Chains A and B, each alone.
Chain A
Amino acid sequence: MNQRFIPLLGCCLMLTGCTDIRSRLSPDVLAIETGSTVRTAMHATQDDSVLTAEADSPMLFREALERKAGASVSAGHLSLLLISGNPADILPDYLYKQFISPTCKVLYVPENACGLLQSGDAPTAGQLDAAVSTGQLPARTADLVFGDLCGGSGVSVLPAYSGGRLTLAAFSPEEICGFLSESACRGLALLAERYETFAFDAEGAPCSIRSRSLHISAEKKGESLCFAVSGSVRAETAHPEAAHQKLTEMLLAALTETARNTGADILFLRETAVRNKLAGIAGCSREQWRSMLQTADFCVNIQLTA
């Protein structure tokens, strides 16, 4: 009876071919610089060292690092990817080839990402998480950026490290469109709802948001679109009027600096327009949608309650 299972034993033995983990490096942070020469650097978790290499193409970073390290490289546990160069040239291919996981954090560094990693001055994934949980930045991962590039307006926004501080950068496949102001970053964080605490200064007194119920609606006014943020915010503050004004500024900056200035749709504005049954939105191309956003009007109408 049991002799029937003897062939299965052979199959089990074949499945035990485990790779020796001592000959495999798994980086937690990877940096890529594109341009005339492609440079790559990684921080290996095993020996807490930074390794740099030059590659012929961003897609060949693994081979270049493997040659330098003399060990195989597996990016399965990558928690942060630093990019110098246009992220739109790299991210879709990295996702398709499964070099990075969809929820990997990506940080744009205007120049010298490898040098930043080597010097130990690069922000960590923990710092990015802290920025998200304190409402400084919205949560932006590789998959969300890819979704905006393919399904939004072709322009996206991702965290950036510029001038020694964390901010957001807007980019399209053609160019880097620019950096967003601190006010816009905070407005986007407020709309994205992924923060744990959201506090800011209102005329010298702190204001802390307890809960919020905001929603975006769209309507057509003549030929142009109009997006409105409405709802209520419950906050603890000594200066409600100043807090209200500051919140309105943040939300308006978030809408105008992403949609109007760069044509980026990271707040699901297209889906909002479809939900509100505006004609001709679902079928329009990314370029058409981008130009429609750049001519749209934006308004904020929120109530602040204690």
Chain B
Amino acid sequence: MNRISRRAPAWSALQTASLLLLCRLTAFFCCDAPYTAAYAQGMFAAALTEAALLLPLLLFRKSLRIPEPLLWGYRFFSLVSAAYLSARGFRLFCLLHLEAPHLFAGMFFLTLLFTVSRTQAATARTAVLLLVTVSAAFLLLPVSGIRSAHMISLYTSGSFSDAFFREFRNSPETALFPLLITRQKAKEQYAPHACAVWLTGRLVILPLLVLFGAMQNGRLTAWKGSPFFLLLARTPLSDAIRTDGFWMLFAAGCSVLSITFFLQQAMPPFRMPVRKLFSVMLPYPALTLFFLRTNRHGTGIGIAALSLGILLPCMLLLIQRIKSRMHYRMHYNSISERNLS
């Protein structure tokens, strides 16, 4: 068993799935692609493809061993993902016309410093709490907006392929999937349950939300900014009650938690807590600034997430199986030779 798995706290399946889903939701809130039926189809197809590719990993998770040097690769990617999400989150909040973005960034960093120093178990518990709240809030959206939704808006033109590839760019949490499914090998149902909840969110909830958004936002495909907040602005709960404020707070909370999750995963196994904390909190702002300055690294993140999350573990599984078979054959041959002699 690898060192990460040995030290990992005992998360429940729901906690793991909540963390993964919140990471996806953060990227979803920050995405500025307009909601169309093609977006929902592309999102569904990409999530289905990922699910199909992850299935062999899930089936053979017990024999998967991640070597220590590779864990550093996962840690580095977690740090990169945290910075990538932070840059995207900051852009989203700038689009929402913050009065003082620099003050916001400072407070966001201080909050992160506090949350990252907490335990991973606390992060997981908060993730469940946030996800339950958002699930309840999502139910209010169709109720409040059903009158102004038009089915015909689903025929607004959109690109399926863009949506398909965007889904990989927007789910960097896929890279951490092998680490998470090998956490608690003793619990048989842990990994399948976590995977089922995570995929339900990605295969059902998010595409349905995009479809609803497409029916609401209709032709507003040229809108600059988050289409989710446009959807909220167009669907108040009643004439007097608006929910934008709640969702803004939720988006901020979601960003903090998902970035905390990535940063905690990126922490190296140092003994001193302060050294551990600053080993991620020092390079993190620099990487965030890098992503803020450049806006064209989404494809790289998508490819890296797919490689680390699916391709590399599959190759590892294959190599480990070939090795064990060769070892078994050599052992069998030596026994046969001994018997013959």
Contacts and interface: CB of A to CB of B under 8 A. Distances in A.
Interface of A: 7-8, 11, 14, 95-96, 98, 101-103, 143, 146-148, 150-152, 268, 271-272, 274-275, 282-283
B218 interface: yes
Given A101-B233, A143-B220, 8 more contacts: A102-B230, A143-B234, A147-B218, A150-B220, A151-B219, A268-B153, A271-B156, A274-B157
A102 B234 contact: yes
A143 B220 CA distance: 7
A147 B220 contact: yes
A14 B224 CA distance: 31
A150 B110 contact: no
Given A103-B234, A151-B220, A151-B222, A282 B152 contact: no
B97 interface: yes
23 contacts: A14-B107, A95-B223, A101-B233, A102-B230, A102-B233, A103-B233, A103-B236, A146-B222, A146-B223, A147-B219, A148-B219, A151-B156, A151-B218, A151-B219, A151-B221, A151-B222, A152-B219, A268-B152, A268-B155, A268-B218, A271-B153, A274-B157, A275-B155
B234 A271 contact: no
Contacts of A282: 157
A256 B110 CA distance: 61
Nearest to A281: B157
A96 B225 CA distance: 9
Contacts of A148: 219
A271 B155 contact: yes
Contacts of B218: 147, 151, 268
Given A11-B110, A103-B234, A151-B156, A268 B150 contact: yes
B152 A272 contact: yes
Contacts of A101: 233
Sorted nearest first, the 5 A-B pairs with minimum C-beta distance are A151-B219, A147-B219, A150-B222, A271-B155, A274-B155
Contacts of B107: 11, 14
Interface string B265-293: 00000000000000000000000000000
Contacts of A268: 150, 152-153, 155, 218
A265 to B, nearest CB: 9
Contacts of A95: 223
B233 A150 contact: no
Contacts of B154: 271
Contacts of B114: 7-8
A282 B230 CA distance: 24
A47 B325 CA distance: 86
Contacts of B221: 150-151
Nearest to A274: B155
Contacts of B219: 147-148, 150-152
A146 B153 contact: no
B216 to A, nearest CB: 10
Contacts of A11: 107, 110-111
A247 B234 CA distance: 31
A69 B220 CA distance: 35
A247 B107 CA distance: 61
Contacts of A98: 97
A283 B111 CA distance: 47
Nearest to A14: B107
A103 B234 CA distance: 6
Interface in B220-259: 220-224, 230, 233-234, 236
A95 B220 CA distance: 11
Contacts of A143: 220, 230, 234
A7 B113 CA distance: 12
A11 B108 CA distance: 11
Contacts of A271: 152-156
Give the interface centre of A8, A96, A151, A274 by most chain B CB atoms within 10 Å: A151
Contacts of B233: 101-103
A172 to B, nearest CB: 16
A103 B144 CA distance: 14
Contacts of B236: 103
Contacts of B234: 102-103, 143
B156 A96 contact: no
Contacts of A7: 114
Contacts of A152: 219
B303 to A, nearest CB: 30
Nearest to B225: A96
A166 B219 CA distance: 26
A134 to B, nearest CB: 17
Indicate the member of B97, B107, B150, B220 with the most A CB atoms within 10 Å: B220
A227 B255 CA distance: 48
A74 B170 CA distance: 35
Contacts of B152: 268, 271-272, 275
A271 B223 CA distance: 18
Contacts of B223: 95, 146
A80 to B, nearest CB: 14
B97 to A, nearest CB: 6
Contacts of B97: 98
